[in-house]
Amino acid sequence: MKIGFIGLGIMGRPMALHLKNGGHDLIVPERASLTAEIRGAAKVVANARAVAAESEVVILMVPDTPDVEAVLFGKDGVADGIKSGSLVIDMSSISPIETKEFAAKLKEKGVDYVDAPVSGGEVGAKNAALTIMAGGSEAAFNRAKPLFDLMGKNITHVGDVGAGQVCKVANQIIVALNIQAVSEALVFASKAGADPAKVRQAISGGFASSRILELHAERMIKGTFDPGFKIKLHQKDLNLALGSAKALGLSLPNTAVAQQMMSSCVAHGGGEMDHSALILAIEGLANHSIRGK
């Protein structure tokens, strides 16, 4: 298939290369940030409009709702070049409400739409082991599924358009609260005089065990916050959760606290760090670092 891919960042780049290695033709828009590897693997065209004009499927992997809207409907956007019968797959994490609006606009052009946000971060993207949660018609999902198989392992058709984004917001709530819980536990243990690395080792085999404790606690202990998933993007996802909760008349008190902790990190210049850096906000409140001075 001829696949257009827009959004070649930390996660999008390896995802696109998996598609290329799976035998598909890759078409991408010109960007100064394109790596030599991508330039060698893909046909580079002028803009999103040109990508859509040459593609059967267009995949988006961009940061936020306004970015998706701009790529789809802005000047020289996907909607200007896409052909009836094409498929758009949005793998970004954005607003479920606006996702439905975008899909409705493209449907008027005879274009199918699947929202398929992912979880698994940079490691999952590189290993083609992403969790993919998809919303859309059964026919559109079945059309997208062979492509998902090249990028992920746990692939679920959650429901109609927008359901994938709802699922991703739920995922991000759980991940954020786990990061906050592990952060608080390690700061508590360290402040009380215990070695946080030993505490992590001791509880990893019990009921508190989790992927966050396995992977992110190690980052926290070592202070290695190079981004697998940037804290500013997780902050954005929690803003989506709280905005959606307001529209639904829900109270999500712990989600609100986690969002404030991430906002504190961003305000202190940590937006580009990995989301495990949420511990820095907890350490700030305690005036104590688990890594010492």
Distance from C-alpha of 183 to C-alpha of 185, rounded to nearest angstrom = 5
Residue of 100, 168, 232, 236 marked active site: 168
Strand partners, 89: 59, 114
Distance from C-alpha of 249 to C-alpha of 247, rounded to nearest angstrom = 6
Distance from C-alpha of 180 to C-alpha of 158, rounded to nearest angstrom = 27
Question: What are the residues whose beta carbons fall under 8 Å from the beta carbon of 219, sequence distance 6 or more?
Answer: 225, 274, 276
Location of structure tokens 């290369």: 17
Distance from C-alpha of 125 to C-alpha of 281, rounded to nearest angstrom = 28
SS3 76: coil
- Answer yes or no: 198 catalytic: no
Strand partners, 230: 274
Tokens of 100: 């439905």
Question: CA geometry: angle at 91 spanning 59 and 102, to 5°?
Answer: 80
Location of structure tokens 């592990």: 182
Distance from C-alpha of 115 to C-alpha of 100, rounded to nearest angstrom = 9
Location of structure tokens 């079945």: 142
With contact defined as beta carbons under 8 Å apart, do 153 and 129 qualify?
Answer: yes
Tell me which residues are annotated as active site.
168
